[in-house]
Amino acid sequence: MKEKFKSGFVALIGRPNVGKSTLMNQIIGQKIAITSKKPQTTRNKIQTVYTCDEGQIVFLDTPGIHKAKNKLGEYMVNVAEKTLKEVDLILWLVEPDTFIGAGEQHIAEQLKGIDVPVILVINKTDTVKREEILTFIDAYRKIYDFNEIIPASALRGQNTDTVVEEIFKYLPEGPMYYDEDTVTDQPMRQIVAELIREKALHALNEEVPHGIAVTIERMKQRKNAEIMDIDATIVCERDSHKGIIIGKKGSMLKKIGTNARYEIEQQLEMKVNLQLWVKVRKDWRDSELLMKNYGYIE
Ligand code: GDP
Ligand code: MG
Ligand code: K
């Protein structure tokens, strides 16, 4: 007899850059959450949905839990903390290391007050020696009584199927929250904006770190044609940043646009005509009003 359908919400937590988005993309098999070498790439709570015969997992890609430095930081911490209490399971990603920093200790302390199963994934095990992995497991065992500890490589897809299996072990019987074709509840516009932001972060150097946002002014398919016209604006904090983003004779903006267009075309499966603009909004990260405009506050 077939077992009952299981379902639930899983919060992905962990320090910026540990590979949360990569793991989610690997499991879902499609690029939704953007990834980059720079920390704090994911600003929004992105829901991705994994459905199979056994059930359905709704992932919440929570921004990193860290100390807030400004309004945007505060918002991200709040989202993360609230999410933890409402989910069916917490999936905590860490780097393979025996040194457990104050940040991890802080998370472990927080988890002790929450009555939700916690699975620890020690990610990036492709970067360490096999025999070292046990020492990392032992170190993490000491700070929290995890339900499971799984070494994995999100990048290489090693043990990511085990992660999925173990999650199902802890999920309750439940309904199908989303139909089986759904992989995200993020509107396509937002995915497009995030892809452009990702390409900008990749192309720009440290001089323009996280002070950029992307807004989509227009996204419209041409009548009777497989062509999408997109007008988007990269918003930055300083005139000097604007110069860097545009580059010599527009070369940087062109590079960002070309890379973004290529990937948007893959996502939308149609030709894309992308027009990029750059605008300066001073201190937008500290302004609640501007954050509302850019979709970071509901
Ligand atoms: P997030 O901030 O936690 O969402 O981290 P990302 O998913 O954006 O990943 C940050 C960086 O780590 C990217 O450059 C990824 O390619 C890289 N990364 C993620 N998972 C792995 C892994 O298993 N092994 C290695 N070597 N790199 C990884
Ligand atoms: Mg991320
Ligand atoms: K707990």
Q: Would you say the CB of residue 62 lies under 6 angstroms from ligand 1?
A: no
pLDDT, position 31: 58
What pLDDT band is residue 212 in, cutting at 50, 70 and 90? confident
Question: Residue 14 CA: which ligand 1 atom is closest?
Answer: 3
Q: Specify if 119 maps to a domain.
A: yes
Whether residues 20 and 153 share a domain: the answer is yes
Query: Which of 144, 170, 196 corresponds to the end of one domain?
Result: 170
> Stretch 105-123: mean pLDDT, rounded?
91
User: Residue 213 contacts by C-beta under 8 Å, 6 or more apart in sequence?
Assistant: 197, 234, 235, 284, 294, 296
Give the integer Cα–Cα distance in Å for 229 and 271. 9
Structural domains counted in the chain: 2
Count the alpha carbons within 13 Å of 256 in the hemisphere toward its beta carbon: 30
Give the integer Cα–Cα distance in Å for 91 and 150. 10
pLDDT, position 35: 62
In this structure, what CATH number is given to the domain that contains residue 107? 3.40.50.300
- Indicate whether 213 pLDDT > 90: no
Q: Would you say the CB of residue 35 lies under 6 angstroms from ligand 1?
A: yes
Whether residues 114 and 194 share a domain: the answer is no
- Indicate whether 141 pLDDT > 90: yes
* Mean pLDDT lowest among 82-86, 149-153, 280-284, 286-290: 286-290
What would the two tokens of residue 293 be?
């405009």
Q: Specify if 181 maps to a domain.
A: no
**Residue 58: helix, strand or coil by DSSP?**
strand
DSSP state of 95: -
Q: Is 64 annotated as a binding residue?
A: yes
Whether residues 248 and 196 share a domain: the answer is yes
pLDDT tens per residue, range 189-200: 778 888 898 899
Q: Is 192 annotated as a binding residue?
A: no
ipTM, two decimals, is 0.97
Q: Which strands make up the sheet holding 227-236, listed edge to edge?
A: 213-221, 227-236, 271-280
- Indicate whether 201 pLDDT > 80: yes
Whether residues 192 and 162 share a domain: the answer is no
Whether residues 252 and 138 share a domain: the answer is no
pLDDT, position 135: 95
Cα-only R_g, the chain: 20
pTM passes above 0.80:
no
Whether residues 16 and 153 share a domain: the answer is yes
pLDDT tens per residue, range 239-257: 889 999 999 999 999 999 9
What range defines the domain where residue 216 resides? Answer: 188-293
Whether residues 10 and 157 share a domain: the answer is yes
Whether residues 16 and 158 share a domain: the answer is yes
pLDDT, position 69: 59
Q: How far is the centre of ligand 1, averaged over its atoms, from the C-alpha of 124 (Å)? A: 8
What pLDDT band is residue 297 in, cutting at 50, 70 and 90? very low
- Indicate whether 151 pLDDT > 70: yes
Give the integer Cα–Cα distance in Å for 297 and 155. 31
Whether residues 238 and 144 share a domain: the answer is no
Q: Would you say the CB of residue 36 lies under 6 angstroms from ligand 1?
A: yes
In this structure, what CATH number is given to the domain that contains residue 206? 3.30.300.20
Whether residues 166 and 201 share a domain: the answer is no
Question: Residue 154 CA: which ligand 1 atom is closest?
Answer: 23
Q: Would you say the CB of residue 123 lies under 6 angstroms from ligand 1?
A: yes
Whether residues 155 and 199 share a domain: the answer is no
Q: Specify if 176 maps to a domain.
A: no
Q: How far is the centre of ligand 1, averaged over its atoms, from the C-alpha of 16 (Å)? A: 9
pLDDT, position 41: 47
DSSP state of 158: B
The closest ligand to the CA of 126 turns out to be: 1
pLDDT tens per residue, range 37-92: 555 444 445 567 888 889 999 887 665 555 555 665 666 566 667 778 888 999 99
Q: Specify if 230 maps to a domain.
A: yes
Q: Is 244 annotated as a binding residue?
A: no
Q: How far is the centre of ligand 1, averaged over its atoms, from the C-alpha of 6 (Å)? A: 29
